[in-house]
Amino acid sequence: GWQVPMKNGSLSYILPCNRLPVQLMSQVRVYTSNGQKKDLGSEDTNGSARGETLHKVETGRQDTANAGQKQSSPKQPIQVKVKAVLKKREYGPKYTQNNFITGVRAINEFCLKSSDLDQLRKIKRRSPHDDTETFTVYLRSDVEAKSLEVWGSPEALARERKRRKEAEIKYRENLFRNQRLLWEYKEFFGNTKPRSSTAAMFFKGPGKVVMVAICINGLNFFFKLLAWVYTGSASMFSEAIHSLADTCNQALLALGISQSARTPDPSHPYGFTNMRYIASLISGVGIFMMGAGLSWYHGIMGLLHPHPVESLLWAYCILAGSLVSEGATLLVAINEIRRSARAKGLSFYQYVVQSRDPSTNVVLLEDAAAVLSVAVAATCMGLTSLTGNPYYDSVGSLGVGTLLGTVSAFLIYTNTEALLGRSIEPEQLQRLTELLESDPVVRAIHDVKATDMGMSKVRFKAEVDFDGRVVTRSYLEKQDIEQLLQEIQQVKTLEELEAFMLKHGENIIDMLGAEVDRLEKDLKQRNPDVRHVDLEIL
């Protein structure tokens, strides 16, 4: 009920009208919702108010000490304030027909062709994409009407949707059948950057490092295998297995690099960048199982069943050549990491530990382990030649296996951390936060999260408390104030006020969306690592 302030002496009460019986006042002014007022007399008992209900207010006090007699307090004027409000509108399902829908959704969901959309009303709206300012949308009611015109009935449209759903399942099973469909949708997806050639990726950067490592380690494996067959040395066998494991793992890295360059699709909207980390993780597991496991096994068997070692002259020559080739590959990896770390403003150690480039890190660690393992194998083989004791050679095999196990454990740890989605550095997060808070349109930001998605790609998310006054002032600065003032002066009724507020309210919401887009664009421009920004309005 209405909340009615009633003054009695110096006390003021707030009482619900519909529960208080009161006496009739001498005069009451009733304000209607259209701003008119009516004076109602106290002696009109024939209902001359034409539908207006007068609440009768009666106040009294019962004196329990005077045998139940009732005494009425003196009549006091009661102030009744009626608040004019709009009637709450119920938004039914038909209201959603005024929603906008893109051309791609109209084709997919309502089984239309691009030529069917040419006849519909086109509306330019602010684009959510960075590469375009505006894009074309359609009214949902127009699209629904056009689909019924094309298919005849909702049942026919449902059957067509079911048929296309089955065709989509077949498409996923056989991608070649959907090339024609993708060609038809090309104009709606817009122009995209051409995909770089896969072959060109292996002539620069991490791809070049991996290809050099594959060639050198493949040759090392071949010559080390010949040396082991000739000498029967356990350390030489471990070296051959080590080179084979490196070759296989680096081939896996090359596959990961090529897969990471694939363009995003609806099933993977953020792309395939993490394929490099997945390939590096599998590479680390492969080094542990294939390299370290076989080296340990061969070393233990050499200790349990020692046998004399043949002449090691050829083994020394091959180890020397392997040391030179592995060292050359190591220098290539070091130079690439130094260049990338300098570009990111990081030290060499930080770049490696944070696994910024997993492919180059794997090559670096594998070649470093290869150089050390060559030194360990040569030392143990030299001790075997001097003493004639084959146990030193077996110990060398165990040492190489331990070294490989350490490298694989480090690779597994760093790549697992990267795949889990770790946070960026606190200094970088602080810079992003200060950039947002320094903008006049932002009052405060909350629940800030910045995740490294891999390969220096950052996803930033925050809840932003916007200053509505600044947003409104920005909107007013783009308006004709004289014309706006005239519109305000012409408002006389609630209907005109509602129309005025709905018009400018929608425009202010669009202005708020434009401010969100501007902030996201500024974050990406000033921080190239930030690829995805999600700002939620608080």
| Residue 360, C-beta contacts closer than 8 angstroms, at least 6 positions apart | 206, 209, 210, 333, 336, 337, 340
Does 374 fall in a domain?
Answer: yes
Measuring CA to CA, how many Å separate 222 from each of 225, 227, 242? 5, 9, 12
3-class secondary structure, 160: helix
Instruction: Report, as an integer, the average pLDDT of 351-374.
Output: 80
Higher pLDDT, residue 425 or 266: 425
Does 312 fall in a domain?
Answer: yes
The whole-number pLDDT of residue 501 equals: 92
| Lowest-pLDDT range of 45-54, 60-69, 333-342, 418-427 | 45-54
pLDDT over 60 at 333, yes or no: yes
Does 453 fall in a domain?
Answer: yes
CA distance 242 to 526: 45
CA distance 509 to 500: 14
Q: State how many domains the chain has.
A: 3
Residue 7 — φ and ψ, nearest 5°?
Answer: -100, 130
CA distance 82 to 84: 6
Q: Domain end: 356, 387, 420, which one?
A: 420
The whole-number pLDDT of residue 523 equals: 92
pLDDT over 60 at 479, yes or no: yes
Q: Domain end: 189, 224, 242, which one?
A: 189
- Taking alpha carbons only, the member of 52, 46, 71, 76 closest to residue 60 is 71
Residues 153 and 217 in one domain: no
Does 250 fall in a domain?
Answer: yes
The whole-number pLDDT of residue 184 equals: 53
Residues 321 and 463 in one domain: no
| Lowest-pLDDT range of 20-24, 407-411, 527-531 | 20-24
Instruction: Report, as an integer, the average pLDDT of 238-259.
Output: 82
Burial profile 420-434: b = 16 or more Cβ within 10 angstroms, e = fewer: eeeebeeebbeebee
Question: Interhelix angle for 468-477 vs 494-526, to 10°?
Answer: 100
Residues 405 and 326 in one domain: yes
Does 528 fall in a domain?
Answer: yes
CA distance 509 to 515: 10
The whole-number pLDDT of residue 13 equals: 43
pLDDT over 60 at 78, yes or no: yes
Q: By percentage, how much of the chain surpasses pLDDT 70?
A: 73
CA distance 227 to 430: 57
CA distance 309 to 381: 9
Residue with tokens 């209907």: 495
pLDDT in tens, 117-172: 888 888 887 776 666 667 788 888 888 888 989 998 989 888 888 888 888 777 76
| Lowest-pLDDT range of 207-216, 226-235, 380-389 | 226-235
Residues 332 and 437 in one domain: no
| Lowest-pLDDT range of 122-126, 210-214, 309-313, 404-408 | 309-313
CB 5 within 8 A of CB 12: yes
Burial profile 387-409: b = 16 or more Cβ within 10 angstroms, e = fewer: eeebbbbbbbbbbbbbbbbebbe
Q: Domain end: 420, 452, 473, which one?
A: 420
Q: How far apart are the first and last CA of the chain?
A: 33
The whole-number pLDDT of residue 45 equals: 38
Q: By percentage, how much of the chain surpasses pLDDT 90?
A: 9
Does 33 fall in a domain?
Answer: no
Question: Could you list the residue range(s) of the whole structural domain that residue 264 is in?
Answer: 198-420
The whole-number pLDDT of residue 185 equals: 55
Confidence band, pLDDT 50/70/90 cuts, at residue 75: low
pLDDT over 70 at 399, yes or no: yes
CA distance 417 to 393: 37
Instruction: Report, as an integer, the average pLDDT of 48-59.
Output: 39
CA distance 278 to 260: 10
Does 391 fall in a domain?
Answer: yes
CATH of the domain at 519: 3.30.70.1350
3-class secondary structure, 429: helix
DSSP 8-state class, residue 406: H
Residues 415 and 436 in one domain: no
The whole-number pLDDT of residue 256 equals: 86
| Whole-number average pLDDT of the chain | 76
CB 454 within 8 A of CB 482: no
Measuring CA to CA, how many Å separate 286 from each of 122, 369, 397, 405? 57, 15, 18, 10
Instruction: Report, as an integer, the average pLDDT of 6-33.
Output: 43
Instruction: Report, as an integer, the average pLDDT of 443-448.
Output: 91
CB 444 within 8 A of CB 309: no
Does 501 fall in a domain?
Answer: yes
Residues 410 and 522 in one domain: no
